[in-house]
A and B are shown apart, each in its own frame.
Chain A
């Protein structure tokens, strides 16, 4: 469960990014976070893995108040989260396979088990067979799928994606969202930030709408 209570974030320059946000996302839920660019979507997402800390309120993830988490405990919080970034952050000096192996090396998995998991993750995003390729050889949609494979290889209970379909054609974007939905179906909590309202409307899922750092709408999924 992810639970925000009265969360504010003011950047050192005095710029106020979030004001008094309160909401919860239940285990196994899939929610979209929408709003114009600059509405505070990225800031909100960064509070969950403690990339940024709130200046007020509390952010509770899996029973821990992330806002008060010690520096040394942060890596262990992040290992239980799958993060997909807007700019993907792939390592271009190593193969597709090694990109997916990195989280497993970090969490110290035994090689055979790690190899199995990496192949399973690549299989889920349809990149099995491209393991030896360099990320540069992949299309934009494939790179995003690789980023997803890397995010899920540790089998996190929460998956967070920031604009995963930005810069993708409609077909690739739909494929990416299908992948997130399939992970949600097996019980993973998913939170996706996007400014693509049209895409969001296609799914009957909860939508949190941000405007100027405030939660202006929290629409429950329409009946399906």
Chain B
């Protein structure tokens, strides 16, 4: 057991030596792996942020009904009475045009704009909650409300959130595809590095076989080298994302401040970052494993 641990320690040390050797391209390869991985990981991070944003919006079955600006308050009251009678409506809220204007005035940055208006351009509006949340039912209700003569526009509020949700699902699928493809590229990069490393160390491998090294002994440092290179690539991807996020957040902060928000893009959680590095290391190991399995038997002393 102690001898086994010692041999692993020696293998790790040998792998570290090869990794850091100035002529070895390992660091460069780690950089390639890091850049490659930062693409799907960055995509994942942005999607996670977008999802967090959309979840803040209500997905309730709401409609917003805007009256014609020409319609009198009496028309709005009549429409309200009609809504009360409609069995498909659970409840509704009336927003008089004066209240809407006041709200707009209070919201950031628009006070001056509103002050400059000579008349209120906003219509009376109703926010209507339907009993049946299904999109078809909502659309049917919207259509029948739209038919009222005093109504200018009926908007199904949850529809865009649904569309965005579907779009995010599509984005997630794209990220998964990208991860698979680039993961395969990562395995190929490691496969090739380890193959080249084995060729440079051909003499040493042959000699080791001649003086009684088992295949396991010869394989071990290469496995560790693959693991190390993959893990370093994962750390580099982590650093790239961190730096990229800092740059993006600089811009986001400006934009958010203009809208009176303190919104920031969030970084990967500790678990996700750990998973990124572990995943990269595992792929590096896999590349090394495939490479060593293929080429070790080809190097035999003659």
- A residues at B contact (CB < 8 Å): 49, 51, 72, 75-79, 83, 85, 89, 91, 102-103, 105-108, 110-111, 150, 154
Say whether B212 faces chain A, with CB atoms less than 8 Å apart: yes
Compute how far the CA of A72 lies from the CA of B217 in the bound complex, rounded to whole angstroms.
12
Compute how far the CA of A91 lies from the CA of B205 in the bound complex, rounded to whole angstroms.
10
Say whether B120 faces chain A, with CB atoms less than 8 Å apart: no
For A105, the chain B residues whose CB sits under 8 A away are 7, 10
1/0 per position for B176-217, CB-CB distance to A under 8 A? 000000000000000000000000000110111111111001
Q: Is the interface of B mostly helix, strand, loop or mixed?
A: helix
Compute how far the CA of A108 lies from the CA of B214 in the bound complex, rounded to whole angstroms.
11
- Looking at A72, A91, A106, A110, which has the most chain B CB atoms within 10 Å of its CB? A106
Q: Is the CB of A75 within 8 A of B207?
A: no
For A78, the chain B residues whose CB sits under 8 A away are 209-212
Q: Is the CB of B6 within 8 A of A79?
A: no
Instruction: Please tell me the number of chain B residues within 8 Å of chain A, measured between CB atoms.
Output: 20
- Looking at B7, B206, B212, which has the most chain A CB atoms within 10 Å of its CB? B212
Can you name 18 A-B residue pairings with CB atoms under 8 Å?
A: A51-B302, A75-B209, A75-B212, A75-B214, A78-B210, A78-B211, A79-B211, A79-B212, A83-B210, A89-B206, A89-B207, A102-B211, A105-B7, A105-B10, A106-B208, A106-B211, A108-B3, A154-B211
Compute how far the CA of A150 lies from the CA of B217 in the bound complex, rounded to whole angstroms.
18
A52 CB to nearest chain B CB (Å) = 9
Q: Is the CB of B204 within 8 A of A91?
A: yes
- Output the nearest chain A residue to B21 by Cβ-Cβ distance: A93
Q: Is the CB of B3 within 8 A of A110?
A: yes
For B217, the chain A residues whose CB sits under 8 A away are 106
Compute how far the CA of A127 lies from the CA of B137 in the bound complex, rounded to whole angstroms.
94
Residue of B3, B4, B203 near A89 (CB, 8 A) is B203
B171 CB to nearest chain A CB (Å) = 49
B216 CB to nearest chain A CB (Å) = 9
Q: A103-B212, A150-B211 are in contact. Are A108 and B6 (CB under 8 A)?
A: yes
- Looking at A75, A85, A108, which has the most chain B CB atoms within 10 Å of its CB? A75
Known: A102-B211, A105-B7, A105-B10. 13 other contacts (CB 8 A): A75-B209, A75-B212, A75-B213, A75-B214, A77-B212, A78-B209, A78-B210, A78-B212, A89-B207, A91-B203, A102-B207, A107-B212, A108-B4
For B109, the chain A residues whose CB sits under 8 A away are none
- Looking at B10, B211, B212, B213, which has the most chain A CB atoms within 10 Å of its CB? B211
A95 CB to nearest chain B CB (Å) = 13
Compute how far the CA of A107 lies from the CA of B3 in the bound complex, rounded to whole angstroms.
9
